[in-house]
Amino acid sequence: MARKKTPQKVDDIAEAAIACFTDLGIRRTQMADVAKVAGVSAGTLYLYVTSKEALFHLAILKVCARPLENLAFPLADPGMKATAAIFAARIAEVRHWPALDEALKPNAKAGMETLRQIGRELYDMLSEARRAIWLVDQCSSEIAEFEQMHARDLRARHRDQLAEAAVKAAGRKAAPSPALILAARLGIEVVAWAAMHRLRESPVNFIRGLSEADARETAARSFATMLISAAEAE
């Protein structure tokens, strides 16, 4: 019979699952790894989840800001399509990109400041969703449903949209070249590093004294400069 469990213990297990799956991926993560990080026995872990897939589902629920307190335990695996749908819904929630959406309208005008604002909004989205992105970055290649959504529906689509916005900002009308599409991809990585990956730097490489506001603005300027330069060189 499904039973409620201690909320703190549920949260501890979810956090341990996030840490292990983010570090090791799905195949390499063992239930014993998560139990150790969570500070419980392997037997206790199975009182909360029925399988590694159910544990991954719990991790996705947690990083996607879904409530855990009303879940029925032991949590069963709902299937990877259901798990991927939760991630897709979270992406839709955090995607707040009005500057890009406006720039892509047929008669909209864009310029350097437009690209900077697009970069700021990208920074904000990546910063907010960084734990979910780290987890899915590590695991998506092992899961067909996540690989399609993450690589094609998110990265490739946004890359191509940014290249299109850069063409407009440069006052050009031709379709983006492969080189400009590459510049858009590199621009995403610049913002991603500033918004997310710098926070995981080793102490020796950590940039001390850098404020969040300065990181955001520097990333946005670099992003815009890279795209406009590539578009003007077309």
User: What 3-state class would DSSP assign to 16?
Assistant: helix
83: Cα within 13 Å, side-chain hemisphere: 27
Architecture of the 87-232 domain: Orthogonal Bundle (1.10)
pLDDT band at 175 (very low <50, low <70, confident <90, very high): very high
- Does the pLDDT at position 4 exceed 70? no
Q: What is the mean pLDDT of residues 95-112?
A: 94
| The CATH number of domain 7-78 is 3.40.30.10 | no
Digit-coded pLDDT (tens) for 127-155 = 999 999 999 999 998 988 888 887 666 78
pLDDT tier, 234 (very low <50, low <70, confident <90, very high otherwise): confident
Q: Would you say 115 and 169 are in contact if contact means Cβ atoms under 8 Å apart?
A: yes
Query: What is residue 186's predicted lDDT score, i.e. its pLDDT?
Result: 96
Domain boundaries, the chain: 7-78, 87-232
Q: Are 49 and 14 in contact (CB under 8 A)?
A: no
Tens-digit pLDDT profile for residues 196-230: 999 999 999 999 999 999 999 999 999 999 999 99
